Amino acid sequence: MPAERLHLVRHGEVHNPHRLLYGRLPHYRLSEDGRRMARAAAEYVEGLDRPVSSLHCSPLERTQESAAPFTEIFGLEPVLDERVIEPTNVFEGTRMSRSLRDPRNWWHLRNPSLPSWGEPYLSIAERMEDAMNSAWDEADDGDAVIVSHQAPIWITHLHVAGLRLRHDPRTRRCALSSVTSFERVGDVWREIGYAEPAAAGVDLGAV
Q: Taking a C-beta distance cutoff of 8 angstroms, is the pair 30, 14 a contact?
A: yes
Type and span of the H or E element at 178: none
Q: What is the pLDDT along the chain (207 residues), one digit of tens a residue?
A: 678 999 999 999 999 999 999 999 999 999 999 999 999 999 999 999 999 999 999 999 999 999 999 999 999 999 999 999 999 999 999 998 899 899 999 999 999 999 999 999 999 999 999 999 999 999 888 999 999 999 999 999 999 999 999 999 889 999 999 999 999 999 999 999 999 999 765 454 455
Q: Which amino acid is at 174?
A: C
- pLDDT of 199: 75
For residue 122, count other CB atoms closer than 10 A to its CB.
12
For residue 188, count other CB atoms closer than 10 A to its CB.
8
Q: Taking a C-beta distance cutoff of 8 angstroms, is the pair 59, 85 a contact?
A: yes
Type and span of the H or E element at 16: none
- pLDDT of 106: 94
- pLDDT of 2: 76
Q: How distant, in Å, are the alpha carbons of 30, 40, 60, 161 from that of 33? A: 8, 10, 18, 32
DSSP assignment of 98-155 equals HHTT-GGGGGGGS-TTTTTTBS-HHHHHHHHHHHHHHHHHH--SSEEEEEE-HHHHHH
Q: How many angstroms separate the CA atoms of 125 and 131, rounded?
A: 10
Half-sphere exposure of 39 (CA within 13 A, CB side): 7
Cα–Cα nearest to 3, from 200, 97, 142, 164 = 142
3 state DSSP class of 94: coil
Q: Which residues contact 63 (CB under 8 A, 6 or more apart)?
A: 11, 57, 84, 147, 148, 149
pTM for this predicted structure: 0.94
